[in-house]
Structure 1
Amino acid sequence: MLSIEALEKFIQSQEIRARIVRLNVPTPTVDSAAKAVGTSVDQIVKSLLFLVESQPILVISPGTNRVDRKKIAQHFGVGQKKVKLADPLTILAVTGYEVGAVPPFGHLQRLAVILEESIFKQELIYAGGGSTEALLEIRPEEILRVTGATLLNLHMESETD
């Protein structure tokens, strides 16, 4: 399993403009993460690992949004049933991090990344920081630069949107 230290080394070696915020409390929810760093839930993002026809794809989305699997399927030209959220063991095996700690980069293997375009509404965001007691403070543009991500609107539209 990778650690905060492994993420810090990756950030330094790649000259990434980001900061790991170490916390004294676990942040299993968007609300708890926002409270721990004293910000709004709008600045918290989640890194979700999907399997598209068994290929791992990392989706970075606002923490309060639901990701529309149908839109991922359309992007890759596959049926919706071919897009599955990875289970915790797969997440650990592919990224090196446990659920709730997955950063946007610095994984065991280089992953294709999709950024939900609405994260660019925020100047500064907080993502998984390599531990459930750490968050990564970073600008969305820096994630895009480091990962070479594809920008998509993956927000699941609800009846009230």
Structure 2
Amino acid sequence: MASGPDRLAAYLRQHGVDAEILYPGKSTATVAEAAAALGVHPRQIIKSLLFQGKDGTAVLVIARGETRVDRRKLTEATGLRQPQLAPPQLVLDLTGYPPGATPPIGHLTPLKVVVDRAVLEEPVVYGGGGASDVMLRISPPEILRLTGATVADIASEAVNDPGGHARG
């Protein structure tokens, strides 16, 4: 099986996606590190997190890396009951990518996707690129086009971890 970045590159070609896979050569483990490695503002770093409801339903959430997903707002926006972060193996099984490197697009399984409204404030964002040292440059409108995502207010501003997690 091809590597995560190779599969993502194939997806970009097949779907005519205006995006770029980046290999910064520096750590991108936190929002601050990813922003510094790419020379961009931290608010441009996004994370893709898979949440699972009590009934097993999965929803992919795309939010700024420096924010925290508000589970109450997520439930209101999606109907997902008692959402929890999905176990790492489920993330890999459904998306084809490991947690921390999950891109916002190109998943193995079609998923319901919700994008936090604040992500749309940036013309270009940077998210997981399929491996821990790889990032994807993409515009929010491309994410919406490719995923059919719902846009909702689902995140709160601050993450307690000052470094923040760059990607989910």
Shift of 1:101: 0.7
How many residues are paired up? Answer: 156
Structure 1: gaps spanning 5 or more residues: none
4+ runs deviating over 4 angstroms: none
2:8: which partner in 1? 7
Aligned equivalent of 1:49? 50
Aligned-residue CA RMSD (Å)? 1.6
Partner residue, 2:139: 139
Listed one character per residue, the Cα deviations across residues 45-80 of structure 1 (whole Å, up to 9, x for unaligned) are 00000012311110000010111011111223354x
Match of 2:165 in 1: none
In structure 1, what is the Cα distance between the partners aligned to 2:79 and 2:93? 26
Q: What residue is the counterpart of 1:116 in the other structure?
A: 116
Greater relative contact order (Cα < 8 A, sep 6+): 2
Which residue of structure 2 lines up, in the alignment, with residue 107 of structure 1? 107
In the alignment, is the contact (CA less than 8 A) between 2:67 and 2:157 conserved in 1? Answer: no
Unmatched tracts of structure 2, length 5 or more: 159-168
Distance 1:25 1:71, change over 3 A: same
Deviation at 1:105, TM superposition (A): 1.3
- Aligned residue for 1:92, secondary structure, equals helix
Give the counterpart letter for 2:17 in structure 1: I
| Corresponding residue of 1:95 | 95
* Partners of 1:54 and 1:8 in 2: CA distance: 30
Find the residue that maps to 2:105 and give its secondary structure. Answer: coil
C-alpha distance 74-87 of structure 1, shift in aligned 2 (>3 A): same
Distance 1:78 1:28, change over 3 A: closer
Match of 1:35 in 2: 36
Q: Is the 8 A contact 2:48 2:127 kept in 1?
A: yes
